[in-house]
Each structure stands twice: as structure tokens, then as C-alpha cells.
């Protein structure tokens, strides 16, 4: 007999998310803005190249890319007292509004003939100031609107939208840049954030968030909550190490392709496309992990990712290393969904925005710092040994985290009824 499909799609873990009366109004705006961000990956460095002096392209491209993300760490602290306790939709909406305004100022300055590379970097930095709060707002909104059992599928939907955008956005940006110019791709990115801000304003009730926290709250309250909770602190350290150790891969991969494999940039694009496709599949699959123990799954992702990266460092043939890199993308993709679900279930919705913003402020620095380390590592060891070192270190990180998790579990003291009286799930 053919399988009964009468309950599909309602049997899918994603149905409660995409059918939610409020979330379903926001998801299209999120998809549009994610595509805009995907296009910015190409447009931001390209416009920097066009504006910078010819002998300083590399420096200004690096500054522009950093300006588009890193200032969010500053914004987490500077605006902590003002934004702590705000509702998820309000935080995400303010981030989208600031991004739309700051990015729109770039083509306006171009039209006025005053756009310089320095002004460009300043406007990019301004656009990123609330980015950690906006990301925190999206995941807080999930916790506000959905019961805990639906948090992981909802996080996976957000991750899948972002994953699709990283695949579709860059080639679309390339087409649009050749047709209209990079500054107008930035303008389109601004328009996508304006659409998202309008979506938050019209699709969600203004009183949909938690109560506002006290006015005298510390600017660093989110960091304090994480520091006091061993489980959250351990998760942050694991994420920081995981992302930091992946940073050198961005430096090693291009040199590995050219020097070790004697291939062109086309093969590098194929590697990243394979990683992206694997990530998209992994993002879709993440919602089906909701019955798995989240902490064990999160640690297992780190170990599995490191193992999947080993063939590149060991010099495996292309027929092995390319599928392995795609597998690494598949394993990597659910990490954000599972780690965010752990934060969502461990923190009240009142504290969650500040906690997630603090988490994001630290993690946004992890990959750039790892990338900076990648230059000296590749220079000293070579690209393939660097990839091997990163893979082995990531596996070791996951195993150490697993050892700590086991020791914490064994340290819990049962009461006479056999119920644990200390520790957190």
C-alpha cells in the first residue's frame, strides 16, 4: 500500500511554525532581508574595492567587511541598558530600521557625489550597531510566540532561510552588479531591511513582548546572567571555540586550492557551493532533531564537524574531500538552531534578549579573530596542515566539552527518591 500522506504537512515539525498566525506574516520579510544580506556578501567588498585607492584595496575591503558585522559587539554594551527587556519584535524591528536607514545613506551619498571609502565604512559600521540585538530579537520572538517543543523547528526555519540566502544571494548580486553597479545592490539591501522593518511594525502587535525591565539595569546584564549559569557559560565557550577554530579555514582554503590542488578559483567556488548545499540540507533536517537531547546533540555536532573536515587536512582525493566538505556543511547547519534552543529553554523571555545579544556580541568576534590567526598559521605550517590542525582541534574541543558534560551529570546528587537535586537539564 502507498504511504498515507493525508496528514502531511500537518505532521511536519515545521507546520506549527509556518502556520502560526503571527510568524507566518513575518517569515516572508525575513526571507527577503536574508536575500539582501546574501547579496551584501559580494556587494560590500566590491564597492569597497571601487572606492578605495588602488594600492590599498586589501586593507579597505577587510575594514568594510569587519564594519558590516563587528560593531554589533559594541552596540550590545552601549545600548544594553536601553534595550534590555524589550520585546523580540521591537528589537528586531529597530535593528532592521537602523540597517535600512544607514545602508540607504550609501547610495544617497553616491548620488550627492560625497561617498568616500571612509564615509562608506562609517555607514556600514552604523548599520551593524544593533545587529546582535536584532538577532536576539528574532530568537526571542520564537520563545515568546511558541511553546518550548516548537523552538528547535522554528530556529531551523530561521537557519534555513539564511542558508538559502547564502546560496542564492551572491550569484544574484554578481548579476546585478554587472547590470547596475554595486552601490545599487547596497540600495536594494537597504530596501529589503525597510520591508522587514515594516513587516515587524504591521504584522505583530505592539504589546507582544515581555514586560520592560527596570530602567537601572546594567548594560552588561546579559553577560552577568551567562557568567552565573555554568551551563550557559559552557555553551558560550564551546561556541566561541568552535567558531574561532573554523576561522583559519577561510584563509587556508583558497591557498589549499591553488597551491596543493593546483586549481583555479572555480574549484574554490565549488567547495563553498557544496558546503552551502550541505548546510541547506542540514538546516532543513534540524527541526527533526527536536526529540534528541539538545546538549548532547550540540556537542556531537562539534565533534562530527571536525571529523568531516579531516579529509581536507589529510590530503584525501577530491572525490573524497569535496563530499566531506559538503558533509561538514550539513553537520554545521543545525548548530545555531540547537544552541539557540538551549538558551531559549534555560532563560526567561525577559532576560533572553540581553543574554542572546551578549552571546552574539562575543561570537561575532570569534570567526574574524580565527581568520586573523589563519594568516600566520598558513605561513608557518602551510594550508593543508592548517586545515588538519583546525579539524583535530575542533574534534578535541567537542570531546573536552563532552567530558565536562559527563562529569557535571555524574556530580549531580540524587535525593532519597532518586530525583536529581542539582544541575540543569
Helix (H) or strand (E) holding 69: none
Task: Answer for the pair 146, 154: CB distance below 8 angstroms, yes or no.
Answer: yes
The alpha helices in 256-317, defined as continuous H runs, are 265-286, 294-313
Long-range contacts of 123-127 (CB under 8 A, 24+ apart): 124/44, 124/64, 124/67, 124/68, 125/67, 125/68, 125/71, 126/71, 126/98, 126/102, 127/68, 127/98, 127/99, 127/102, 127/103
Rg (CA), the chain: 22
DSSP code per residue over 335-347: HHHHHHHHHHHHS
The whole-chain average pLDDT of the chain stands at: 83
Which residues of the chain are modeled with pLDDT < 70? 1-11, 57-58, 85, 205-220, 265, 411-425
Say if residue 148 is exposed, middle or buried (CB neighbours under 10 Å; 0-12, 13-18, 19+): exposed
Q: Is residue 240 a contact partner of residue 339, using CB atoms and an 8 Å limit?
A: no
Q: What is the pLDDT of residue 144?
A: 84
CA–CA distance, 423 with 425 (Å, rounded to integer): 7
In the chain, the percentage of residues whose pLDDT exceeds 90 is: 29
Task: Look at residue 5 in the predicted model and tell me its pLDDT.
Answer: 47
pTM for the whole structure: 0.76
Q: Which grid cell sits at 44? A: 560590500
The per-residue pLDDT for 123 is: 96
% the chain with pLDDT above 70: 88
Cell of 152: 528547535
Nearest in space to 139 (alpha carbons), one of 386, 347, 416, 404: 347
> How deeply is 106 buried, as exposed, middle or buried, from its count of CB atoms within 10 A (0-12, 13-18, 19+)?
buried
Please give the grid coordinates belonging to residue 393: 582541534
Amino acid at each position: 500500500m502507498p504511504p498515507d500522506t493525508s496528514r502531511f504537512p500537518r505532521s511536519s515539525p515545521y507546520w506549527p511554525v509556518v502556520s502560526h498566525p503571527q510568524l507566518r506574516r513575518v517569515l516572508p520579510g525575513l526571507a527577503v532581508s536574508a536575500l539582501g544580506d546574501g547579496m551584501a556578501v559580494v556587494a560590500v567588498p566590491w564597492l569597497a574595492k571601487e572606492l578605495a585607492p588602488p594600492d590599498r584595496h586589501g586593507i579597505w575591503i577587510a575594514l568594510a567587511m569587519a564594519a558590516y558585522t563587528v560593531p554589533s559587539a559594541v552596540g550590545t554594551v552601549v545600548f544594553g541598558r536601553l534595550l534590555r527587556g524589550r520585546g523580540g519584535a521591537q528589537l528586531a524591528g529597530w535593528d532592521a530600521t537602523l540597517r535600512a536607514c544607514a545602508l540607504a545613506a550609501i547610495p544617497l551619498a553616491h548620488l550627492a557625489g560625497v561617498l568616500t571609502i571612509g564615509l562608506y565604512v562609517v555607514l556600514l559600521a552604523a548599520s551593524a550597531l544593533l545587529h546582535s540585538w536584532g538577532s536576539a530579537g528574532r530568537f526571542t520572538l520564537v520563545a515568546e510566540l511558541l511553546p518550548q517543543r516548537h523552538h528547535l523547528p522554528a530556529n531551523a526555519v530561521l537557519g534555513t532561510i539564511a542558508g538559502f540566502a547564502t546560496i542564492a544571494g551572491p550569484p544574484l548580486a554578481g548579476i546585478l552588479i554587472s547590470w547596475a553597479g554595486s552601490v545599487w545592490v547596497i540600495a536594494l539591501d537597504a530596501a529589503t531591511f525597510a520591508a522587514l522593518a515594516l513587516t515587524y511594525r504591521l504584522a505583530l502587535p505592539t504589546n507582544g513582548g515581555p514586560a520592560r525591565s527596570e530602567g537601572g539595569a546594567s548594560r552588561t546584564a546579559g553577560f552577568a546572567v551567562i557568567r552565573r549559569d555554568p551551563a550557559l557559560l559552557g555553551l558560550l565557550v564551546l561556541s566561541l571555540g568552535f567558531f574561532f577554530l573554523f576561522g583559519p579555514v577561510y584563509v587556508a582554503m583558497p591557498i589549499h586550492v591553488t597551491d596543493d590542488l593546483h586549481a583555479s578559483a572555480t574549484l574554490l567556488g565549488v567547495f563553498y557551493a557544496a558546503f552551502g548545499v550541505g548546510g541547506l540540507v542540514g538546516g532543513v533536517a534540524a527541526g527533526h532533531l527536536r526529540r534528541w537531547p539538545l546538549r548532547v546533540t550540540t556537542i556531537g555536532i562539534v565533534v562530527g564537524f571536525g571529523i568531516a573536515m579531516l579529509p581536507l587536512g589529510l590530503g584525501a582525493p577530491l572525490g573524497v574531500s569535496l563530499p566531506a566538505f559538503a558533509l561538514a556543511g550539513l553537520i554545521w547547519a543545525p548548530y545555531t538552531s540547537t544552541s539557540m534552543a538551549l538558551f531559549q529553554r534555560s532563560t526567561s523571555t525577559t532576560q533572553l534578549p540581553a543574554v542572546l545579544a551578549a552571546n552574539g556580541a562575543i561570537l561575532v568576534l570569534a570567526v574574524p579573530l580565527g581568520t586573523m590567526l589563519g594568516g600566520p598559521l598558513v605561513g608557518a605550517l602551510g594550508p593543508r596542515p592548517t586545515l588538519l590542525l583546525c579539524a583535530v582541534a575542533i574534534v578535541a574541543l567537542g570531546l573536552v566539552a563532552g567530558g565536562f558534560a559527563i562529569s557535571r551529570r555524574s556530580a549531580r546528587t540524587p535525593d532519597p527518591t532518586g530525583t536529581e537535586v542539582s544541575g540543569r537539564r
